[in-house]
Amino acid sequence: MPNYLEILRLDSFNYSQRTIESTAHCSRHTVCNVLQAAKVKQSTWPLDDDITNAELEAVLFLGKYKSGCRYVELDYPYIHRELAKTGFTMALL
């Protein structure tokens, strides 16, 4: 996970993006995306002392981690009842 706090801190010192990416050990695309998202959200350094890297990520990239489940969960009690009947198999369900 990139250190978003470090990226914003180094940007506040007017370091170049290449210097930031080498210091923060992340790609230039990550640095560019973080700085662009911070500009849109108007998040500048110094931030609150109690904010964590995960909280900053949630603020900058609001819809990044949406629900990943695309499938409806199976109705296990129904399947169990049907399989208890004689003559039913998983292939028939």
Quick: pLDDT tens for 51-91. 887 877 888 887 676 666 778 888 899 888 888 888 877 77
pLDDT, position 52: 81
Which two tokens mark 43? 């998040």
What is the percent of the chain where pLDDT is above 90? 2
0.85 cut: is pTM over it?
no
User: Using the 8-state DSSP alphabet, how is residue 71 labeled?
Assistant: S
Neighbours of 26 (CB within 10 A): 19
Q: Helix 4-12 to helix 17-24 angle, to the nearest 10 degrees? A: 140
Least confident of 17-21, 25-29, 67-71: 67-71
Mean pLDDT of 7-25: 86
pLDDT, position 65: 63
Write down the domain spans for the chain. 4-60
